[in-house]
Structure 1
């Protein structure tokens, strides 16, 4: 959506395509979206790549100026032509955004999400401008005869505490899985050796960073420093926060010692029960890459339960 804002600010028209329904096998879930600019640039996806070319052609050549639905995969010809998964069908809502009001709408939307606030978009199917309503519950799409309601939640953030090979692999895999990743490393020697230039590095005390930016219910904190002076600071703050996942790397023996230390520092039994240590799913993993895969798998599972629980509210 940030790229859509940039295109609108540059005076380009934008079309926002949202997956509102799927049947059978589909490469992207309901709620996925794709933004297209009139110059043919795109951001996001609604398929594995089979529909985007057709959407670019439709929008840039025909320049639709009204909200409308598009169905793909309904006929055998569709499945053959667009190479949709066998038996799959997708319904999209295509919505034009003009540089004037559209820019203001997108800026308001991004502002809510940057403030870590859920929000719902109401897209009128009869032509009125889209509006925003303070959201509740998890992400999802509802549609009736008059409008589509698209509930959006903030990005799930991941704070990694402690630079190292495992942290580097976790950062790469978690970024690919759509987490917003930040590394905290207060130790200059380790921070200087961090080579993942695409991952933000913050040289700060981890407890301060948890409190200021990673303490809400859409944040996860992983202690990977192998240094109790660093890890324990992060965990003390994270276990007292609303973070949906708090984990620490180490053996079962190390994890038991960590729990004793945290209890002695005043962490209650109920809060200690939130600590995932050793972190990750039990593959069992040995190499840094395998450990990172197990960690990110556990994070994805926790994020799924977070969103499922919110959707059921």
Structure 2
């Protein structure tokens, strides 16, 4: 999960422990050019503290005004962006429509296992019964955003994305600077002391040892990206021969088409199968005619974001027509 939504859950737990009333708002459906993806979270207390986002800001303002007048006592389903007037009022892009689940929270202990699981890099799902308001947390094998229907809201939460860069250099520095803005925590390995001594970027986690040992110790998972940028085959190949055996979401290597073909031939001699070698993303990045180190970093991040967003499979929700005593559909004027 991204850092913003994780902070929403942390804040909600903290506020509940302080004895505040808390409501959590989740984006469960969107149509058109919606400003926030499915599963985005926003939390607010009865005294006006808030965190997170479900839009560009106007919907949050409306929710805060609404909760100040009457704090929610039960689960509600709210829709924004029905009419042209609403889209203009709430700043939604043309054609954009959002449906939000508003859920009053009452027990910090019910959310704590969720935070603990995410911190432990485990994939879990939270199942919310829409009528009773009861929620449960269980292990998950499916990495989708959420499933929502008239009966339940099922949302999958996973660890933050990690980016392991092998090799220092200008491209690595630009990548390390830009990646956190796209919700990657950045790690770095380079066994060359002179390269490490001249590194210019703060807020990265250094991994010691040779690249193959660093990759093994890192324990890559489905939310791990590994890129080799040293331009030194002795360094890059050591990392790749271990990275391509893992469950890493993406393993990529910098280099030309010619150097990529030579690299793949070398990797086939290093106890890697043809299928594992074919999983290598190389040359790395989207083709944007990049030349400078900053442009190469942009192309790498563009490819990562494209593949990450493409891989977020969401179960298509059925149409909603909810109107019960315990669950209300509200269309905001």
TM-score by length of 1: 0.87
Kindly indicate whether residue 47 of structure 2 is the aligned counterpart of residue 47 of structure 1.
Answer: no
Question: Per-residue deviation at 1:92?
Answer: 0.6
Listed one character per residue, the Cα deviations across residues 1-22 of structure 1 (whole Å, up to 9, x for unaligned) are: 3432344444444321111112
Q: What's the RMSD between the two structures over aligned residues? A: 2.5
Supply the distance in 1 between the matched residues of 2:24 and 2:230 (Cα, whole angstroms).
Answer: 42
3-state SS of paired residue (2:34): coil
Give the structure 2 partner of residue 192 of structure 1: 197
* Higher normalized contact order (CA 8 Å, seq sep 6+, divided by chain length): 2
Q: Displacement of 1:61 after TM fit?
A: 5.1
Q: State the shift of 1:27 in Å.
A: 0.9
For residue 270 of structure 1, the aligned residue among 272, 275, 297 is: 275
Select 1:291's aligned residue among 296, 313, 330.
Answer: 296
Q: Is the 8 A contact 1:207 1:233 kept in 2?
A: yes
Indicate the residue corresponding to 2:27 in structure 1.
19
Please state how far the C-alpha of 1:180 moved relative to its aligned partner: 3.0
Aligned length: 308
Distance 1:160 1:38, change over 3 A: farther
1:241 aligns to what SS in structure 2? coil
Distance in 2, Cα, partners of 1:111 & 1:239: 29
| Cα separation, partners in 2 of 1:107 and 1:255, compared to 1, 3 Å | same
For 1:142, the equivalent position in structure 2 comes to: 147
Once the two structures are superposed, the pairs formed by residues 1-313 of structure 1 within 5 Å of their partners are 1-2=6-7, 3-4=10-11, 5-60=13-68, 62-98=70-106, 101=107, 103-308=108-313
- C-alpha distance after superposition, 1:213-239 (max 9, x if no partner): 342222211011223332222111101
For residues 225 and 311 of structure 1, the distance between their equivalents in structure 2, rounded to whole angstroms, comes to 40
Distance 1:195 1:13 in 2: 45
What is the distance in 2 between the residues matched to 1:143 and 1:37? 25
Q: CA–CA distance in 2 between the matches of 1:126 and 1:60?
A: 24
Displacement of 1:169 in angstroms is 1.9
Give the 3 Å change call, closer, same or farther, for CA 232–127 of structure 1 in structure 2. same
